[in-house]
Amino acid sequence: VRVLRSAGVHGWTDDPAAVCTLGNSGGQALQVAIKAGARRVLLLGFDMTRERGDHWHGDHPRHFKVTHEETYGVWRGRFDAAAPEILRRADVVTVTPSALRCFRASTLERELASLREAA
């Protein structure tokens, strides 16, 4: 197990022992994947809106924190700002409906087919 420290909520850091969190677990996971060597990352379930609920798995119990639509807007802005540095390191693709516009959009089927063609 390797523990990475937070380098804040904005941008990207080249520090191998840290990630910029973007304020959410998806942003952290994306940066961890790239630091681990991923050159293409398919974002599945990154809708980044409250439109279909807080999470792909449905809302948490009522006693958990509710994420408001304004928070998703803040997170989208952080992804937008970090995207140039992220895209210098990996091809990031949204493969399900997403409010993120900073990454290329495609379908899971198309991206998996392109992997098979490259093999």
Q: What is the pTM of this model?
A: 0.87
How high is the pLDDT of residue 31?
96
34 is written with which tokens? 């790239």
On average, the pLDDT of the chain sits at: 90
Give the mean model confidence (pLDDT) for residues 19-39.
95
Compute the distance between CA of residue 102 and CA of residue 55 in angstroms, rounded to an integer.
20
| pLDDT given for residue 68 in this prediction | 78
**Distance from C-alpha of 91 to C-alpha of 93, rounded to nearest angstrom:** 6
Q: Is the pLDDT of residue 26 over 90?
A: yes
Q: How confident is the model at residue 80 (pLDDT cuts 50, 70, 90)?
A: very high
Least confident of 13-22, 26-35, 65-74: 65-74
